[in-house]
Structure 1
Amino acid sequence: MGLVTEMEYRNRRERWRFPGRGNAWLVPLVLLIGIAALDLSTGEDFRTISWVILVPSISAAVCGVGTTVAFTLLSLATYLAVDNVWPHEYRAGLPDFLLLAFGGILAVIASAVRVRRERQGLHMRDIAETTRRTVLRPLPPDWAGLEHAGVYLAADTDARVGGDFYDIQPGPHGTRVLLGDVQGKGLGAVETAAALLGTFREAAYHESDLVTVADRLEVRMCRHRGHTAALGRYDGDRFATALLLAFPKDARDAVEVINFGHEPPLAVGPRGVRPLPGGERLPIGFGDLTGGAAPGAGRGPAACRERLDEDETLLMVTDGVTEARGPGDVFYPLLDEVARAVAADPGRAAPRRLVRLVREGVLRHTGGRLGDDTTVFAVRRLPEPQSEPRRPSTTGRPSPS
């Protein structure tokens, strides 16, 4: 996921504090030298030294405040030096000097305003990144016995945050995984995603039954909508599609799946690609339509336990992938692309390589123009640790033959 890290933020601030990174300060310097040389090489009927007023203006556009001040002073000094070379009757004189000084002051002010706005913009991006990391918290490598990889691409590249979410939660009853997509965009979708993730992290740890975890998510959505309604924000139509998975401790060749109206996960391995069915439910937030999992209602449908070999990776995506449109308004062929790639190279079933394959495929298919937030997440069980073989006893010595 392309991100603005804290180090990049500091580097960008330093970029405008000293002559620009990438030698941007060379542009006004070359312009200053060129104007002075042109003025000295032309006759008295064609004086160009007054054009030096362009130098602070260019500096204000590409350099920092300190550099703009330096070029303003250098321009004034160059003006005096070059103008005094000419006889008195051909000098541009005091009026142009005052004009240059006034233009330099305006350039410094303009540079200060530009730098301030840029820093505010970087600060807002940093806040968006912090929000994204709060919702999509970083996952440690090989977390909870799973090899995992994920990428999140926001359709709004400035906001860098949306309604897609995923997480892994280990617990005493096994490892649970959640991936989902909140309907809508903006802060409302982010708030809903954060509410669902908070409930998942608690329920997935404490509840022994995956169905109970699913019911808790449905109740949380109802409570969240009631809270936003009490605040005067209509959120009654908000819902989320999601996949809720469990990797039981007692069965390493199985996974439990509850599907809240989402695209089914794909089991990807050396033997091919197959969609996994799941305990089908309506999207989170529609449970009251069937009388299940709403506050005070009974339990929802049971989870579906499916076979999952240890060399198979579970690939999960949001509709930003399945509904990505390319030339001719054609949807991205996820299943065909993955099946073709894994058939040519079974090693591509590894989570990291698989996520990279889908990410690059979607960006290539859409020409980099994403119409919706896009999340790709893949998990695979880590091999069961092997106990170390016992070392031979060295307490006694064999008798010599």
Structure 2
Amino acid sequence: MSHARDRDGGHWPIRPFRNRAAGAGSAARKRAAAQLAVCTPVLPVLIVSVVVLVDVVCGAGTVWLPLLAAGPALAATTSAPRGVLGVGLLAAVLGVMLGTRDGVPGHELTAVLSALAAVTLASGLASALRGRRERVLAAVRSVAETAQHALLKPVPATVGPFQVAVRYSAAAAEARIGGDLYALVATPYGVRLIVGDVRGKGLPAVGTAALVLGVFREAAYDEPDLLAVVDRIERSLARNLGCDDFVTAVVAGYPRAGHLEVVNCGHAPPLLVRSDTVVAVEPALPAPPLGLRALTDETPGLQVLPFADGDQLLLYTDGVTEARNHGREFYPLAEGLARHVSDEPAGTLTALHDELLAHVGGRLHDDAALLLLRKPAASPNETTVPEPAPPGAAALRTPVNTSPSR
């Protein structure tokens, strides 16, 4: 595939993911199977059968018959109201048969059947209320997923000259969205991207994340200078955020072959993978988070990094590096990246994310985002030899691991 720019519009082409959704027939079959599972309460029927079997073996009539009410009671937790009523009816019929067989007095059998009917009706009502709550929750999840796709748009596997992969986990698991943000767009000035972290987490931070992403997507197309893009975001946040709110972010751009521009606003330093080493791209000029510039005299600085074929850049949020295990130890992201780095960004992030979840015991307690860029071999239309970066433009720490496994 060619990674050359579109000569007419000057845009890097975006190649979307292949659609792997199941067809309409498959979806219909899945819905039918789910409906059948709801309307066929296997476990409650099994419990009723066990009670009947015990009564037949022991022949103790009124001792075991009240336990038939356990069937419809359990069905309320798994089945629709008609499934509950069906189990209750089955239990009542079997109760009458067993009572008659065991010679249970009429008034005792009537009392057992009345209790069974009361439990069945109450369980049917509970099942109806449960179903209503589940439908409401499903609607909320649907809205949350729609909001997530509108806010954090899916990133294609290939954007311009880069292979790209993203992994995102929200601390508010039911909401599916949170305060971490990312975006990657192809513009007339090259590929541009942002990864940021809004103060706070969960739904209260979503509005600020939406504001930042909206301004970034507009400014990335309009402003030829990457620092001007950051200034646009800063001015918008200064007008709209409270005095205690802010956003840490890294904004990057690829204006020409072999050169990567990075602006760090109080965010964790990206990790650069080059020649089997992992180094942290520390900001040469520390800058405050977005929204707090008015409180200081510091302004962001533009770093220019050489970015050649085979280089990779990992941007992330503090939900990754501040994730702790049961021993209160932070997750060592740089070491993890060195262990799992490969030529496939999606595979690298999958391995990192799985290791991160194993580190914390299965669930993150903060929003976490990972975005990995890889520069594969250039197309014939693109220069592959980068010019040297200006002295002092990129401050890189000592490699944390020099022999990652692939």
Q: TM-score, normalised by structure 2?
A: 0.80
Structure 2 match to 1:189: 205
SS of residue matched to 1:324: coil
Give 2:310's aligned residue: 311
Verify: 1:257 aligned to 2:251, yes or no: no
- CA–CA separation in structure 2 for the residues paired with 1:45 and 1:63: 28
- 36, 47, 66: which one pairs with 1:18? 36
| In the alignment, structure 1 residue 352 sits paired with structure 2 residue 358 | no
Question: CA contact under 8 A between 2:62 and 2:108: conserved in structure 1?
Answer: no
Aligned equivalent of 1:41 = 57
Letter in 2 for 1:128: A
Q: 1:42 to 1:379 in 2, by over 3 A?
A: same
Once residues 188 and 276 of structure 2 are traced to their aligned partners in structure 1, the CA distance between those partners, rounded to angstroms, is: 32
Q: Select the residue among 116, 124, 138 that pairs with 1:122.
A: 138
Q: What residue number does 1:295 align with? A: none
**Pairwise CA distance, 1:124:** 2.0
CA drift at 1:272? 1.1
Which of residues 112, 133, 138 in structure 1 aligns to 2:128? 112
C-alpha distance 71-205 of structure 1, shift in aligned 2 (>3 A): same
Q: Distance in 2 between matches of 1:14 and 1:359?
A: 34
State the match for 1:159 in structure 2: 175
CA distance in 2 between counterparts of 1:181 and 1:88 reads 70
Residue 367 and residue 9 in structure 1: after superposition, are their counterparts in 2 closer, same or farther (change >3 A)?
Answer: farther
What is aligned with 2:11? none
What secondary structure is seen at the aligned counterpart in 2 of 1:328? coil
Residues 284-303 of structure 1: pairs in structure 2 closer than 5 A? 284-290=290-296, 300-303=299-302
Q: Check if 1:372 corresponds to 2:390.
A: no
Please tell me whether residue 247 in structure 1 is matched to residue 238 in structure 2: no
Q: Distance in 2 between matches of 1:96 and 1:153?
A: 52
Partners of 2:191 and 2:92 lie apart in 1 by 70
Determine the C-alpha separation between the residues in 2 that align with 1:14 and 1:291: 63
**Partner SS, residue 177 of structure 2:** coil
Q: CA deviation at 1:330?
A: 2.0
How many residue pairs get aligned? The number is: 358
For the pair shown, the structure with the greater C-alpha radius of gyration is 1
Corresponding residue of 2:401: none
| SS, match of residue 201 in structure 1 | helix
CA contact (8 A) 2:321 2:332 kept: yes
- The aligned amino acid for 1:286 is L
SS of 2:167's partner is strand
- The alpha-carbon distance between structure 1 residues 210 and 352, as it changes in their structure 2 partners (threshold 3 A), is same
Separation of aligned partners in 1, 2:116 and 2:188: 74
Which of 79, 87, 111 is the matching residue for 1:71?
A: 87
| Shift, 1:125, TM fit | 2.3
Percent identity (aligned): 32
The alignment partner of 1:197 has SS state of helix
Check whether the contact 1:18–1:64 (CA below 8 A) recurs between aligned residues: no
The residue type equivalent to 1:36 in the other structure is V
Describe the shift of the 1:57–1:384 C-alpha distance in structure 2 as closer, same or farther (beyond 3 A): same
Residue 87 (structure 1) shift: 4.1
CA contact (8 A) 2:59 2:102 kept: no
| 8 Å contact kept, 1:17–1:64 | no
Task: Please give the root-mean-square deviation of Cα atoms over the aligned residues, in Å.
Answer: 2.9
Letter in 2 for 1:244: V
How many Å apart are 1:201 and its aligned residue?
Answer: 0.3
Instruction: Indicate if the aligned counterparts of 2:65 and 2:112 stay in contact, CA closer than 8 A.
Output: no
Unaligned runs of 5+ in 1: 226-234, 293-299, 343-347, 388-401
